[in-house]
Structure 1
Amino acid sequence: MTRSVAPWMLFLCVLTLAPTVAAGQPPSNDGRLATDRVVAYVDTLIERAREMELWNDPYWRTLLHYERGLFGTRSLVDDPSFFASPVGKKDPRAELEATLRILFDPPLTAEEPESLEAIATEGATSDQPASRDASETSATGTTDASVDPTEDTTPNAARAKLPICRFVARYEWLKEQLDIDESRVPEARCEPFEELYTAVGADAVSLIFPTSHMNSPASMYGHTLLTIGAASETSLLSHAINYSAVTNETFGPLYIAKGLLGLYPGYFSMLPYYAKLQEYSDVNDRDIWEYPLAFEREEIRRLFLHLYELENINSNYYFFSQNCSYHLLYLLEAARPGLDLTSRFGWWVIPLDTIRAAEDVGLVRDPIYRPSKSTKVSFLAGLSTHEEQRLARDLALGKTSTDEPRLGDGGLAPEARIRVLDLAGEYLQYIYAKGEVEQEAYVPRFLATLRARSSLGVSGEWRYAIQPPTPPDHGHRSARIELGSVFVRRGPGDDGPLDAFPLLTVRPAYHDLLDNAAGFKRGSQIVFAETGLRYDPRREKLRVEFFDAIDIVSLAPRDLFFHHTSWRVKTGLIRRTDSVGGDPLVFHLGTGFGWSFGIPRLGVPYLMVDTETQIGGGLDSNYAIGGGASAGILGKVTNWWQFHLSGRAIFFRLGDRDDL
């Protein structure tokens, strides 16, 4: 059966298909010529860059975080979104050429993602990078519990940016080097960056070093961050720039292992500095040192350009090398072309040493000291008698009130009452910040203290000016080499003769109890990878006497206001004399927990309950587990002359039973 098509239907089909056919037509001659001109111009720029070998310029390598190693050049940035070229991580030339081409691509009509401005202006109180809900940690050990960062529910924000915003720092530098005609660039200005830069008012930068907290193992290694803001404003109104790892673990074996192996992603973030200061100074009992940096305004702009490129970009975080302090150095290098700080560091990057590196090149001005609440409480307690301390503590804890007779006219002298009320006020603020007092109890108690204090008239603040201690950067250097001797008993038992051997000890980091205490917390020790080598002339052999992978001690004295726990942990390899007179290396892990007390003019006596575990082929059953106790006293004559008298007894009851 034959069917005919009505003429009106044929006409409708022609109308429907006409736009489609038109849309499928090749571009006009004008459009093709414009595209050809852009391609030709980009080719000219690339040829100029090749003649200059611009990819070998140190500043290009700074912007891309390139480092030369045993296996060639590679970038320390691990996020593919950071690169314009698929091979950009390992090929500086390919990355430069791809960057030039992508800058001249027509802009996408995608919404600009949430920028650092959201963090800078919303009063955030965590270090999280924009658009991420994940737990962060740094060398300080601070964490924010949240959602698993591996859940990728949205496209990477960095890819959604306009080319000029993705590579804003690179574009500014390439424009200067190649004399790029901005009129030929489709988008030659990143408006979101300019708005954020104006809002921050970035014309002053400081390097921040929070000191260690005795009861926080991770914080003892140190941490650095930057602040950026207007020079005319107080530093509290500036913004903190922080680099830290995103983790889901708390402090523990898995946390340490993954941190050492670089299995955590690290991100830059920005938040109000007052929030960061509150976190360290009130909650974590850490004094703050601020080191203003001698950057000009244009240099600060370069720093901020590079920071903007790194938004939502991750790099593998290594606790002891590519850590918070190391990655901040790239921002400083980006600020000042020709500055080389990262090449000074290798296997170990200690935060305090990065400050010294900045000082060595003339970047650092005189530091500013901000004592923590706990430091203020300790200082005021040191000015008070024991009776005044007890009364101040009881006031803060609500065990007594300001109606106490000793605080009246017939009680303590006016100066004593001033000391009591000032100390009570500081301690009350401290325990409130620690969460030990509810707000309902804190507010009336604090207001009553203020009223009683104001009735005494004269302000006592001038009496309480805390003299800054030695700045941390003025303390001793981290690495140490020493030459000594070791006495080893020859043969089995305790009656054999003692032989003396020369001992060379190498310590890459960081500080022990008997080091010069200037610039460090007294009673703190954190040692990594200390190795002792002894030479045996009879055997003509150099042998490892011990290897201390970690040796941490915290002797935090207890008093009326602070009930610290003293502790220590030490692990590594030691030599253990066996039943046949040998001394094989065995693995050991020792821990201790107890108390210490500060006694004026005497020192810090302490007592601990200890455990010891040893594993090795020279032991009966190849292991030994026991417990015991240790006691000692740490004293100081001067910063350069200290003494440590100690004794330790361990009784093994599992495995090898030869006691220590």
Structure 2
Amino acid sequence: MKEYLAKTIKLTFIFILYIFSHSSLANEQSLIEFSTNKQWLKLLHYKPGSSSESYITSPDFFLSSSRIISSLEELKATITALYLPINKNQSPNEHALCRFPARSTLIQQQLNLSTYGELPTIECAQYKIWRQQIKDDSVSLVFASGYMSNPASMYGHILLKFSAHDANKSSELLDTSVNYGAIVPSKENPLLYVLRGILGGYDAAFSDQQFFKHKHNYGDIELRDMWEYKLALTPKDVALIVDHLWEILPAKFDYYFVDENCAYHFAKLLELVLDKSIISDDSLWVLPNAVATGLAQAKYKNNPLLAEVNFIPSRETVLHNYYDQLTIKQQQIALSIIVNDFSFDIDDYQALANNEQKVIIESLFQYINVVEQQEKNSDVTKAGKKKLIRERLGFSAGKAIGYHNNKTNAAPHLVRKPSKFSVGMVSIDQTKLYSTAGFRMTYFDDLSSSVGRSDFSNLEMIDVELITDGSQAKILKLDLIDISSLYLPAIPWKNNVAAAWSVKAGYEQLSNACIDCGIYFTEGNLGKSVRIGNNSLGYAMAGGKAFFGNKGDITIHAKLGLITSITENLKAKIELQKTSNIALSSRYASSVKLAISYEFSHYWDVRFMLENKETTFAGLTLNYYWGF
């Protein structure tokens, strides 16, 4: 009997050991499998194709103690940390359950952790307060238009916005928005700012604040239009994104202006709940409009990801809209009020009905708020605003005029693709024929499609063109940057001539007569421009150009030009230039340049160029536009 009992106990022990061993092996296998789960890797912000290298540089973000943190090691460390009892010497807010709610949710949904026991009960006070402040019935990406005064914002900017279902004009400004940007020291040297932004050297981070602060900064101060892309995500997925934001708000990233920027990281954040990427993982550069295009094309649970697109006009756009709604008589009366230092003791104004007077006053409020951004700390502007307020107090509450979007404000996803391949033929002095091939990284030039961009502006980076006669190839030009803003719409009631400016740097041929006379240069110009009708612009600029290399020289020049849209798809530009103080070649004293562009599809255009600069240079180029 003893023998039988001993044998039974032994077999029972072996069976129990087998069960626990098998359970442990099964649990280990499930951890290995889950460690490569797409959502888990997204929560750790691992780089594409990697399960150990993250975009996040903050050591505190990772719970594993290993120097090289694999997704499996971080998973095990996270599970261990989640089940740790609360340490009496530690704030509950520092426990993994409070720091990593998205990790906790995903792990509990995907893995059977019954062998670990019960999770500890912890009051996450800081997370709870933060979470209650966010009304996350819906989520949107907000795109701000380009801002030429800031190199990092020339291509636009992206914010994430959370809203309540019952959002209205007054409540939506209290919605939570999330920003991503470089952490730049105050009063940073502009040149250093550009170099470090492109080459690296800045930390970057997500930050959250109420949306009205961003709307005020972008729409009221910087006068940038915005577009809100509302997404059709389920509450469960929106909640996962919000919880993950809590996890990464303290984290630091490396910042790179060209690729690892706001557009890239917001796209990757949304991909946490998407089956496919919004932007390609192998993109060499990422622009905000590429993310907008990805959103417009993306699917979510077999339906479009994009629910709707709403335009948010800047204060200046609203001013122009109000001005267009006024009658000619009302416009003239408003001008008289401005000219008379905002005196309302004007017969024509006093003769108007109350509602018409309110319309003029509200339009003038938009005017003075826009002028305020250009003439900061102006005593005249401040005094005028006080008079407007006093006059407005004499009328009943309620608006007499509102924004009416009568024009097509093209959303970012409708903009032409930013990159370009080109092929063409050129003739030099009507005796030599060459083939050309070119590449431009970004973005548009002054003959590009006007859809979704500022008219009469140029924003190009890394634009290279090669030329060959069949036996040898040379670099015809390499523009590192070519940026110009020839016209900003004049503020209504101000007779100001629009400012024009341009900067350019790169490598070019000194003369059209030679394809092996390359020289490096930088160029800058300032001037004025005037709108001619609805479709044309004339401009005049003066500037200088510095050449570098064996033939160093500095020149000064004057330019006179005209840009016109002959039809919707046909544009032309002619520019005359006179140059002086030239040591390199006195024959390079003046030039005339004509360019014509015909857009025959969203992706293609053909261009003709004729230039007389010592010799005659004529070319025909076919351009194909594309993007990642």
TM-score range, shorter chain: 0.7 to 0.9
Tell me which amino acid in the other structure corresponds to 2:153.
S
Measure how far apart 1:388 and its partner are.
5.8
Question: 1:476 is matched with which residue?
Answer: 416
Question: 1:16 is matched with which residue?
Answer: none
Measure how far apart 1:326 and its partner are.
0.8
Cα shift readout 1:381-406 (whole Å, capped 9, x = no counterpart): 44568886565356357624111233
Are 1:522 and 2:467 an aligned pair? no
Question: 2:241 is matched with which residue?
Answer: 303
Are 1:574 and 2:508 an aligned pair? yes
Question: 1:290 is matched with which residue?
Answer: 228
Tell me which amino acid in the other structure corresponds to 1:209.
F
Contact 2:142 2:160 in 1 (8 A): yes
- SS of equivalent to 2:413: helix
Contact 2:196 2:202 in 1 (8 A): yes
Q: Which one of 284, 290, 301 corresponds to residue 347 of structure 1?
A: 284
- SS of equivalent to 1:74: coil
Q: Supply the distance in 1 between the matched residues of 2:504 and 2:328 (Cα, whole angstroms).
A: 36
Show the 5 A alignment for 1:61-210.
Answer: 61-68=41-48, 74-87=53-66, 91-109=70-88, 161-181=94-114, 183-186=117-120, 190-210=124-144
Measure how far apart 1:418 and its partner are.
6.7
Q: 1:265 to 1:109 in 2, by over 3 A?
A: farther
- SS of equivalent to 1:67: coil
Cα shift readout 1:467-511 (whole Å, capped 9, x = no counterpart): 44222221211122222223345xxxxxxx642212122222111
Show the 5 A alignment for 1:307-386.
Answer: 307-334=245-272, 336-344=273-281, 346-361=283-298, 362-382=304-324
Contact 1:78 1:314 in 2 (8 A): yes
Larger mean Cα displacement after TM superposition, 416-425 or 640-649: 416-425
Q: Which one of 521, 525, 537 corresponds to residue 604 of structure 1?
A: 537
Q: Supply the distance in 1 between the matched residues of 2:473 and 2:515 (Cα, whole angstroms).
A: 16
Contact 1:652 1:658 in 2 (8 A): no
Tell me which amino acid in the other structure corresponds to 2:285.
W
Q: Supply the distance in 2 between the matched residues of 1:564 and 1:41 (Cα, whole angstroms).
A: 78
Q: Supply the distance in 1 between the matched residues of 2:327 and 2:211 (Cα, whole angstroms).
A: 36
Count, aligned residues = 555
Are 1:243 and 2:180 an aligned pair? yes
Unaligned runs of 5+ in 1: 1-38, 114-159, 490-496
Contact 1:164 1:189 in 2 (8 A): no
Unaligned runs of 5+ in 2: 1-19, 299-303, 590-628
Q: Supply the distance in 1 between the matched residues of 2:407 and 2:382 (Cα, whole angstroms).
A: 35
Q: 1:209 to 1:441 in 2, by over 3 A?
A: same
Structure with more strand by fraction: 2
Measure how far apart 1:186 and its partner are.
3.3
Contact 1:529 1:549 in 2 (8 A): yes
Measure how far apart 1:329 and its partner are.
1.5
Cα shift readout 1:36-88 (whole Å, capped 9, x = no counterpart): xxx999977861434x422222222211111246x985211111111122447
Are 1:554 and 2:485 an aligned pair? yes
Are 1:273 and 2:211 an aligned pair? yes
Q: Which one of 576, 580, 595 corresponds to residue 651 of structure 1?
A: 580
Q: 1:573 to 1:84 in 2, by over 3 A?
A: same
Question: 2:433 is matched with which residue?
Answer: 500
Contact 2:474 2:515 in 1 (8 A): no
Measure how far apart 1:375 and its partner are.
1.2
- SS of equivalent to 2:113: coil
Tell me which amino acid in the other structure corresponds to 1:62.
K
Tell me which amino acid in the other structure corresponds to 1:238.
D
Contact 2:181 2:261 in 1 (8 A): yes
Q: Supply the distance in 1 between the matched residues of 2:580 and 2:435 (Cα, whole angstroms).
A: 30
Q: Supply the distance in 2 between the matched residues of 1:425 and 1:220 (Cα, whole angstroms).
A: 28
Task: Please give the TM-score of this superposition, normalised by the length of structure 2.
Answer: 0.80
Question: 1:593 is matched with which residue?
Answer: 526
Q: Supply the distance in 1 between the matched residues of 2:569 and 2:176 (Cα, whole angstroms).
A: 39
Tell me which amino acid in the other structure corresponds to 1:635.
T
Measure how far apart 1:184 and its partner are.
2.5
Tell me which amino acid in the other structure corresponds to 1:74.
E
Q: Taking every aligned residue pair, what percent have the same amino acid on both sides? A: 23
Tell me which amino acid in the other structure corresponds to 1:587.
Y
Contact 2:135 2:176 in 1 (8 A): no
Tell me which amino acid in the other structure corresponds to 2:412.
P
